[in-house]
Structure 1
Amino acid sequence: MTVPLKTLITGQHGQVSQALQQQLQGLGELIVLGRDQLDLANTDQIRTQIRAHQPDLIINAAAHTAVDLAESEPDAAFAINTIAPGILAEEAKALGIPLIHYSTDYVFDGSKPTPYNEADTPNPLGVYGQSKLDGERAIVAVGGEYLILRTSWVYSNHGKNFLLTMKRLLQEKPHMRIVADQIGAPTWAGTIAASTRALIERWQSGEAGAWGIYHLTAQGETSWFGFAEAIGEHLRAQGKACAELEAIPSSAYPTPAKRPLNSRLDCSRLQQQWHVSQPQWQDALRECLAEQH
């Protein structure tokens, strides 16, 4: 029998945190600290909370994820995405416990023609990507036991994300123009949480792989246009109105932050080291859509 864990999760209302709160039931005590209890921009508060709770595992599911906003408020992005993870890593190491932290495809510039693996050199295009990369480096510099899980294009039935935005807009508008030259894998927060649970169970049962940085996205690939089409097909199958879609290049939809054109991540190392694999993105999307009430 594995001993019940005391797991501290940062972030409360984010997509990944909400999925973790569902998925990690039964593993032991979950301490979920939202911004009211734990402001990641407050370094003293981070140390105080972790020392007060004395967890067996820390999962950092909080982040400054507003990619365009980060360009105009870099200080907030670096406080939450860079400084806080480093302090979480220091506290985890002091307690002799692992830290699980989520990162992003945005650490890469998207110029590689094939999927990125963990050995590829990062080169972020904007503040958000740079702040997340610096956060990874802060954790690595501390050492200790950590898993940094890079994911991409996260969506769920909660919060702000492409799925929910598209479901609304596709029913409101007759015509929509969607970027078709950015390629990646839409990844359901439920998939990330289920994989995280599998990783925790491997660690608890003494079957842990190597600690370090791993890629964790759904399998397969599509564009934002392809993702929108799949959402549209679901709406039509339900007999709902759906906009006509037009594929456009990124250049036709300028944003404050530049996005990588290739966000594909090679997740084979996670499978090899930890024996944890991911579903096809279409299957995960169907599961997510079926979950809605």
Structure 2
Amino acid sequence: MTTRRSFLAQTSFAAAALWLQPDLLFAKPAYKVGLQLYSLRDEIGKDIKGVIAKAAKAGYQELETFGYDKEKGFFGLSPKEFKQTLADNGMVTPSGHYGIDPFLNGGSSDDLKTYIEVAKTAGQSYLTVPYLGADMRKSVDDFKKLASNMNKAAELCKQSGLKLAYHNHDFEFKPIDGTMLYDVLLKETDPKLVSFEMDIYWVVRAGQDPEKLIKAYPGRFPMWHIKDMDKTKPELNTEIGSGSIDFKKIFALAQVSGLKHIFMEQENFTNIDPYQSIAQSSTYIKNELLK
């Protein structure tokens, strides 16, 4: 029987162990390696199940979707079928990219409500905004309107147990009247409702510093897109660890970022089979960035 004295002795021992080994208290989370499905958009064709199986074989445990067709679903699979196909391959989908421009522009919520139901059925936790049309971001007032409507969209997501996230490109860092869209979104969206998926490549491509952003807004970036920048042609991607981005320094800030999910994405492949490429990136992430 555990007495109060023995309980106190046990807890004191545990506390001493943590004092002697503080790394146990602040142990690095065990991240899974994810893939943004857009990387294999040219391979999907009529065989989405085959693509998923090959992605799993390449070392990926999580998959982020892009787009949804109300008639064809996820490339021919319903959300329920998609979730099951992932499960059959030992995978899950924490996030999906869904375009909700109509709602963010002050219009109908019909598409948003459809995508919320799709994301829930597929087992996703984040409904992620992948892009914003140029007509919606012409002025600082537009920026503020977008932030306000993101908060409203996030409230709808919250009602269904989801969280809204925003994925950047580089246009968010091009100032209008001295103000950047990304600054407005970070400052005027509710941290409890709106998360950010930092696309590290596009942050660097825009001339910004991912480390500074993470330190300035701790906990706001629970998801990252990682794709490397070709050393000679920065407009091209390359396999993780082969390009010019120092991911090791950035990964040192994973906990500051609030990181929960990592999605490798490669938008173009040069003289290499796509599956060989994504497998090479997966191996590097596991062996060099998550060890």
| Band the TM-score falls in, shorter-chain normalisation | 0.3 to 0.5
Larger radius of gyration: 2
Greater relative contact order: 1 or 2 (C-alpha under 8 angstroms, separation 6 or more)?
A: 1
TM-score by length of structure 1 reads 0.37
